[in-house]
Amino acid sequence: MARIGIFFGTETGRTRLIAKQIAKKLGDEAAAPLNVAKAAPEDLLAYEVLILGTPTLGDGELPGLATGLPQESWAEFVKKIQSLDLGGKIVALYGLGEQEKYGEHFVSALKPLHDAFRDAGATLVGHWPVDGYAFSSSAAVEDGHFLGLALDQISQPALTAERVDSWLEQIKPSFPA
């Protein structure tokens, strides 16, 4: 049975596409990616490792009803995981954003996603260096690193494949044996 669960939120589908690419690279170990709009919090419990993707919408926000989505997404889902015990789960985040147009809040939604899973007891891995990006501020930067993999499919699409590959190699040693 797959031990890696991949969950994503999305508005226009880019974050879903990356989820599918990650699943393909991980092979049999990963389950088919699931939109959190269709997931229940308990679905997270089936996996040892969780890879979670989110775009940043609004002014540095998680996708959800408040950012204009027609259905619930991460903004609502993170509130529902507060009662879960995710102790022992390895969680890695990736975030999509646009650094040229939204450089004040580049991939900032990684921060509330990170904090929600940390507060539920998960072990967060996969911080990613800020080198190679140009933005003015981000809520998702700590100690010169994003709280997950930052991807920009609008300003830097050509860099995505290599970033995903390097990040997966970086996080794989954190997976349980």
Ligand X SMILES: Cc1cc2nc3c(=O)[nH]c(=O)nc-3n(C[C@H](O)[C@H](O)[C@H](O)COP(=O)(O)O)c2cc1C
Is 59 one of the binding residues for ligand X (CB under 6 A)? yes
Minimum CB distance to ligand X smaller for 137 or for 166: 137
Rounded to a whole number of angstroms, the minimum distance from the CB of residue 109 to ligand X is 7
Is 98 one of the binding residues for ligand X (CB under 6 A)? yes
Torsion sign (Cα): 136, 140, 146, 151: negative
Question: Which one of 33-41, 70-78, 95-103, 156-164 is the stretch in contact with ligand X (CB under 6 A)?
Answer: 95-103
Q: Which of 92, 107, 147, 149 binds ligand X (CB under 6 A)?
A: 107
Task: Report d(CA 24, CA 21) in Å as an integer.
Answer: 5
Taking CB atoms, the residue at the shortest distance from ligand X is: 97
Minimum CB distance to ligand X smaller for 102 or for 117: 102
Q: Which of 15, 26, 52, 147 binds ligand X (CB under 6 A)?
A: 15
Rounded to a whole number of angstroms, the minimum distance from the CB of residue 19 to ligand X is 9
- 75: which 2 tokens? 């903004």
Is 77 one of the binding residues for ligand X (CB under 6 A)? no
Minimum CB distance to ligand X smaller for 155 or for 170: 155
39: exposed, middle or buried (Cβ count in 10 Å: 0-12, 13-18, 19+)? middle
| Residue 112 neighbours by CB under 8 Å, 6+ apart | 61, 62, 78
Place of tokens 């860099």: 159
Residues that bind ligand X (CB under 6 A): 10-15, 55-60, 96-98, 102, 105-108, 153-154
